[in-house]
Structure 1
Amino acid sequence: MPDPGIPVPRAATPTLLLYVGSLALWGLATWLLLGAGVTPWLTVPMHAAVSFLMFTVLHEATHHAAGRLTWVNELFGRLAQPFVAGFASFPAFRHIHIEHHRNTNESRDVDPDAWTTHGPTWQLPLRWMTQDFYYAWFWAPRIRRRPRAEVVETVALAAATVGVVGWALVGGWFWQLAVIYLIPQRIGITVLAWWFDWLPHHGLTAHHPDNLTNGRDSRPPSPAPTRGVEPARRPSTASLHVLAATNAAPGGMPPGARGEQRRKRRN
């Protein structure tokens, strides 16, 4: 990977502040609903915004861009994950997301995000709404090849999620759980899938060898090339994030990437 020349601090202050601000917004929305009796029509969008914002923290940690220190990424990835998809673990999400970058715009058998772009038009809103469920479907058949710690953490969180929902049903507070967590999270995931999966990838095919530039770039076009000089292909904004994160990681790879490569060679 080429060095993009982007320095990464020990801990990325904007990412950490985004987490703190999102957590504060979640606390405010929860208090407004439970303590001040404010209508869910106001608090549900606030909680949905938290899911959207927390995904940014989760995404940065996934690419080892929340800071140069590995433990910072591991910690904030796990702290942000419950606000995006509580039944999944951060290591499982990281594996799934990196598979998307490796196989961008391929079939959904190898690119999990293709679930939101490859399908009949009338199904797309439902697919956006269920992107995280497809992630689980994508990950489950690979469970035997995943690290034991990742499997244990993922299964434990999934079981805990089922337990909390069951407890809410029995305890009579399922409605509160729904308007604070379940409904806003579903809205957040729908917007995320539409914005970051469907918009940049729909209608495209996998044609670049490195799959780093398989997306639409909304930035202004590059200046016209000089006559007789072939223009260099400009990477997309997303690919710059990948390059920065990869170079920020110890050894030039995100945690677990080398192990992933070794496992793929053996398989």
Structure 2
Amino acid sequence: MVTGRYLNGGELPMEAVEQRKIIKAVRNEPALAEVFKVPILSLPTSLLFVVFYVGFGATTYMYLQGAISWPLVIVANAIFIYISFTPFHEAVHRSLSRVNWINETLGTMSAQLLLPGFNTSLYRYLHVLQHHQHTGEADADPDVPFLIGSVFTRVARWAFLDVLWVRYYVGAWTTRPVAERVRFSVGVLIYISVLVIGFTSSFINEFLVAFVVPCLLARIALVYLFAYIH
């Protein structure tokens, strides 16, 4: 269950509103304005966006053509999917672009290999408004389940983190804006569609090798490095 007092129709907890006022005041200091200025488009992060999509597409194509082995495509695609989290995370923190629609669009596109159907605003709620505001609080931090339980339980949760986060969001359903709930619902339908098509097609083996297994490995590595040992 998600706790806390909310303002703005459930958009922000009260303590987050106060913290944002402080952050805004600091950022408006003339001496620090240039430091905090977000570019129209962050070139290093945008380059990663190109690298992981082109890399994933190229290795998958080579695997389908028989040019590389299945172990190689699993490792390579896991790395590319892992990399995709960086532009997604930057967009969630509004650091990818100061142009809102560019930031949100590229962020959502970055999520599709790691978390099909997820969007920037959904993860912003989970990561910024909940995880950062309630780090370590068992009843409010969506990342706490990654840290508890047996080794097998933890690794399984890392691999299927999307299930945990979807369940968490559903638990906070009535507190979230309608537009965000609509995007969430559309995303879930997209995700289910991808899985149904992939597992019922004649290319199920290729789907598993080039996408499903690399995706699960990337998630395990990501949560271990950024949530568990951190």
TM over 0.5: yes
Task: Map 1:6-21; keep pairs closer than 5 Å.
Answer: 6-21=36-51
In the TM superposition, residue 59 of structure 1 has moved relative to its aligned partner by: 0.2
User: What amino acid does structure 2 have at the position aligned with 1:96?
Assistant: L
Q: Is the CA contact (8 Å cut-off) linking 1:57 and 1:66 kept in structure 2?
A: yes
Distance in 2, matches of 1:145 and 1:182, equals: 32
Task: Map 1:105-120; keep pairs closer than 5 Å.
Answer: 105-107=136-138, 109-120=139-150
Paired residue for 1:174, among 204, 208, 212? 204
In the TM superposition, residue 37 of structure 1 has moved relative to its aligned partner by: 4.2
Q: 1:131-172, CA deviations, whole angstroms, 9 ceiling, x for partnerless residues?
A: 222111111111222222222222122212222322233332
Distance in 2, matches of 1:8 and 1:90, equals: 17
Distance in 1, matches of 2:40 and 2:190, equals: 32
1:95 aligns with 2:122: no
Match of 1:38?
68
Aligned CA RMSD, in angstroms, stands at 1.7
Q: Normalization by structure 2: what TM-score?
A: 0.80
Distance in 1, matches of 2:145 and 2:203, equals: 33
Q: Is the CA contact (8 Å cut-off) linking 1:52 and 1:188 kept in structure 2?
A: yes
Gaps of 5+ in 1: 201-267
- Residue 11 to residue 113, structure 1, CA distance change in 2 (3 Å): same
Higher helix proportion, which one? 2
In the TM superposition, residue 121 of structure 1 has moved relative to its aligned partner by: 4.5
1:140 aligns with 2:170: yes
User: What amino acid does structure 2 have at the position aligned with 1:172?
Assistant: S
Q: 1:44-91, CA deviations, whole angstroms, 9 ceiling, x for partnerless residues?
A: 111111111110010000000002221221111111011111033332
When Rg is computed on C-alpha atoms for both structures, the one with the higher figure is 1
Q: Is the CA contact (8 Å cut-off) linking 2:199 and 2:207 kept in structure 1?
A: no
1:81 aligns with 2:111: yes
Q: Secondary structure at the match of 2:97?
A: coil
Q: Is the CA contact (8 Å cut-off) linking 2:82 and 2:219 kept in structure 1?
A: yes
- The size of the alignment, in residue pairs, is 199
Q: What is the percentage of aligned positions where both structures have the same residue?
A: 24
In the TM superposition, residue 194 of structure 1 has moved relative to its aligned partner by: 0.3
Match of 2:101?
71
Match of 1:104?
135
Q: Secondary structure at the match of 2:149?
A: coil
Match of 2:59?
29
